[in-house]
Amino acid sequence: MDIDVMGWIQRTLKPHMVSPDEALPGRDTPILSPMPRHEIFGLPLDEEPEGSEVAYFALGCYWGEERMFWETDGVLNTAVGFMGGFTPNPTYRESCTGQTGHTETVKVVYDPRRVSYDDLLKMFWEAHDPTQLNRQGNDVGTQYRSAVHTHTTGQLATAQSSRDAYQSVLTGAGYREITTEILPADGRPFYPAEPYHQQYLDKNPAGYCGIAGTGVSCPIGVAPADG
């Protein structure tokens, strides 16, 4: 997170989820236009190669999360943005107020022959503390809430089963209930963030990461995906 934005966020932070009526109005024009190319993969950020599948994960600040996924073998493309809320085409600053309803999200395009959805879920669960409500560490607000948005019934079943399996081991380790939203992506658009946020830690290697898990390993392979 930008240090010079931190104080502004604290002054404007809305700690509870807004209603559609309360949300900022947003705009019709996408923030990310034209679509740039990925700093590592060289693909347009909206490209989904033939045979690939898409997953959406939110686990706090999206800078470190995106790097974690783009460094994963089998991931073909990534982008950071906003999802799960009400404001169309929000800016980063609007999202930081908590008044859009969105959470910082990473779109992950992957080759299922090289990396499975189970594998990505395991990375997701272990990279943050999903028992924290509307925060991750020092990043506080509904825009940092934990979420999985699914594309298929198979993804939904797998995500729910992995949550239940992880809850079992987290409970045994003394953690509270998982707060992660697991919802179908249908009708919940992914809005890409501004260009300077895309692959931020490639452009700023010493930048803020925010990745910090519980240290508790997550079981995988708990439910078959049916596509």
Query: For 138-196, what is each residue's pLDDT tens digit?
Result: 899 999 999 999 999 999 999 999 999 999 999 999 999 999 999 999 889 999 999 99
Q: For residue 8, name the pLDDT band (cuts at 50, 70, 90).
A: very low
Asked if 155 and 117 touch (Cβ cutoff 8 Å), the reply is: yes
Of 21, 32, 18, the C-alpha closest to 100 is 18
- The region that residue 154 occupies, defined by phi over 0 for left and psi between -120 and 50 for alpha, beta otherwise, is alpha
Active site residue 61: yes
Catalytic residue, chosen from 61, 96, 209, 218, is 61
